[in-house]
Amino acid sequence: MSQFWPFRRKSRQAEEPASGDAPRWRFFGREYTAGVPYALPSDLGEMNRLDFQHFVLRQAFKGNYAAPLRKPSMILDVGSGTGRWAREMAANFPSATVTGIDIKNPASDEENAASSASGTRLASYQFMQGNILDGLPFPDASFDFVHQRLLFFAIPTDRWQFLLNELTRVTRPGGWVEVVEGRYGYEPMGAAA
């Protein structure tokens, strides 16, 4: 009877990544990161969506940040995704070191260089692969500005306090933590009229 089913099931087994990236699995033609609670895909289509989302948010918020930054020397982008926000911050603050951390490596350095305004790789931007649910791999008070945006699909409810404690731990006294999140779910509105 399975030959009549309109969808071919693919194995949910993790696929071994080519470049030391986190293991992946495919489902209905989309690629997902195995072993993490992130509900959205992690393929090229998702990377394009994340970049578009970045541009929309930058326009809506009239910039990349709301904190009253003066001259930060160390900036951290938690859950950096494509690295677009971090690279733009490195261009805006060339004397600062901007670090992005995510479970998945962003686009290659060549693609990063091609997408930067000047066409060259920004020396002040660096990426670090890591699972933020395991804690941030930085000493206490390392950063002047810590940024996290739209990870509500990636952080289980019972891990939020831990993550917020980590963001605060790595922020220097007088520094800023900026968390931009939404919410998911629905609120019952009552009976339909």
φ, ψ of residue 39 to 5 degrees: the values are -80, -15
> CA distances (Å), 12 to each of 9, 25, 30, in order?
9, 6, 12
User: What percentage of the chain carries pLDDT values higher than 90?
Assistant: 48
pLDDT at 175: 97
pLDDT at 75: 98
Q: Between these two residues, 6 and 126, which has the higher pLDDT value? A: 126
Amino acid at residue number 19: S
pLDDT at 106: 76
Q: At 168, which helix (H) or strand (E)?
A: helix 160-169
> Beta strands 24-27 and 30-33: pairing type?
antiparallel
pLDDT at 21: 61
Bridge partners for 125 per DSSP: 98
Q: Is 164 helix (H, G, I), strand (E, B) or coil?
A: helix
Q: Can you read off the two tokens belonging to residue 179?
A: 């968390």
How does residue 18 score in pLDDT terms, banded at 50, 70 and 90? Answer: very low
Average pLDDT over residues 54-72: 93
Third-level CATH fold of 64-180: Rossmann fold (3.40.50)
pLDDT at 11: 40
pLDDT at 163: 95
Instruction: Indicate left, alpha or beta for 28 from its phi (over 0: left) and psi (-120 to 50: alpha).
Output: left
Average pLDDT over residues 31-45: 73
How does residue 17 score in pLDDT terms, banded at 50, 70 and 90? Answer: very low
pLDDT at 29: 77
User: What would the DSSP string read from start to end of 32-72?
Assistant: EETTS---S--SHHHHHHHHHHHHHHHHHTTSS--S--S--
pLDDT at 187: 65
pLDDT at 89: 97
φ, ψ of residue 186 to 5 degrees: the values are -145, 160
Reported as half-sphere exposure (CB side, CA atoms, 13 A), residue 112 has a value of 22
pLDDT in tens, 78-107: 999 899 999 999 999 999 999 999 987 876
pLDDT at 13: 41
pTM as predicted: 0.74
Q: Between these two residues, 123 and 77, which has the higher pLDDT value? A: 77
Residues 129 and 116: their CA atoms lie apart, in Å, by 21
Question: Cβ neighbours of residue 151 under 8 Å, at least 6 residues apart?
Answer: 78, 79, 132, 181
Domain boundaries, the chain: 64-180
User: Smallest Cα–Cα separation from 88: which of 124, 42, 47, 44?
Assistant: 124
pLDDT at 128: 94
